[in-house]
Structure 1
Amino acid sequence: MMIRPAELAAIKKGEIDLAFRRWDRPRVKVGTRMRTAVGVVEVTDVQQVTLSSLRAEDARRAGASSLSALKEGLSAKADRPVFRVQLRYAGADPREALREKVPDEAEIGEILAWLDRLDAASKHGPWTRATLAIIDRSPEVRAPELAAELGRETLEWKADVRKLKEKGLTESLAIGYRLSPRGEAVLDHGGPRRERAPRPTGTPLPRTIGAPATRALRAQGVTTLEQVGQWSLEDLRALHGVGPVAIQRLEEALAERGHGIPHRTR
Structure 2
Amino acid sequence: MTVLEGLAAGTIDLVYRRWPKQNVRPGDVMRLEAGVIEVDSVEIVDPATITDADARRSGAESANAVRGILRGPADAPVYRIRLLYIGPDPRRALSAETALSEKDVDAIRKRLSKMDRRRPWTHETLRVIADNPGRRAQELADLLGREKEPLKVDIRKLKGLGLTHSLEVGYRISPRGAAYLRLTEDPGRTR
TM-score under structure 1 length normalisation: 0.59
Query: Structure with the greater relative contact order (CA < 8 A, sep ≥ 6): 1 or 2?
Result: 2
User: Structure 2: how far apart are the matches of 1:37 and 1:138?
Assistant: 21
1:70 to 66, 88, 91: 66
Counterpart in the other structure of 1:14: 10
* 1:157 to partner: Cα distance: 1.8
The alignment covers a number of residue pairs equal to: 188
User: Structure 2: how far apart are the matches of 1:71 and 1:181?
Assistant: 42
User: Structure 2: how far apart are the matches of 1:12 and 1:181?
Assistant: 23
Counterpart in the other structure of 1:166: 160
User: Structure 2: how far apart are the matches of 1:165 and 1:179?
Assistant: 9
User: Structure 1: how far apart are the matches of 2:117 and 2:78?
Assistant: 42
* 1:31 to partner: Cα distance: 3.4
In the TM superposition, what whole-angstrom CA distance separates every residue of 1:171-206 from its partner, at most 9, and x where no partner exists?
2334443333432343345552599xxxxxxxxxxx
Counterpart in the other structure of 1:183: 177
CA 1:103–1:29 in 2, change beyond 3 Å: closer, same or farther? farther
In the TM superposition, what whole-angstrom CA distance separates every residue of 1:84-115 from its partner, at most 9, and x where no partner exists?
11123333221111113344333433322322
The structure richer in strand per residue is 2
CA RMSD of aligned residues (A): 2.9
CA 1:106–1:44 in 2, change beyond 3 Å: closer, same or farther? same
User: Structure 2: how far apart are the matches of 1:194 and 1:77?
Assistant: 59
User: Structure 1: how far apart are the matches of 2:140 and 2:39?
Assistant: 34
Task: Please list, as runs of the form range in 1=range in 2, the aligned pairs for 1:1-266 lying within 5 A after superposition.
Answer: 6-74=2-70, 76-101=72-97, 102-121=99-118, 125-192=119-186
Q: Which secondary structure state, in structure 2, belongs to the residue aligned with residue 168 of structure 1?
A: coil
CA 1:105–1:32 in 2, change beyond 3 Å: closer, same or farther? same
Q: Where do 5+ consecutive residues of structure 2 fail to align?
A: none
In the TM superposition, what whole-angstrom CA distance separates every residue of 1:145-173 from its partner, at most 9, and x where no partner exists?
33221112333322211110000111233
CA 1:66–1:27 in 2, change beyond 3 Å: closer, same or farther? same
CA 1:130–1:49 in 2, change beyond 3 Å: closer, same or farther? same
Q: Which secondary structure state, in structure 2, belongs to the residue aligned with residue 20 of structure 1?
A: strand
Contact 2:20–2:73 at 8 Å: present in 1 too?
no
User: Structure 1: how far apart are the matches of 2:169 and 2:188?
Assistant: 23
CA 1:153–1:78 in 2, change beyond 3 Å: closer, same or farther? same
Matched residue type, 2:55 = A
User: Structure 2: how far apart are the matches of 1:63 and 1:7?
Assistant: 6
Contact 2:17–2:70 at 8 Å: present in 1 too?
yes
User: Structure 1: how far apart are the matches of 2:188 and 2:157?
Assistant: 23
Over the matched positions of the two proteins, sequence identity in percent amounts to 43
Matched residue type, 2:123 = R
TM-score under structure 2 length normalisation: 0.78
Q: Which secondary structure state, in structure 2, belongs to the residue aligned with residue 182 of structure 1?
A: helix
CA 1:190–1:67 in 2, change beyond 3 Å: closer, same or farther? closer
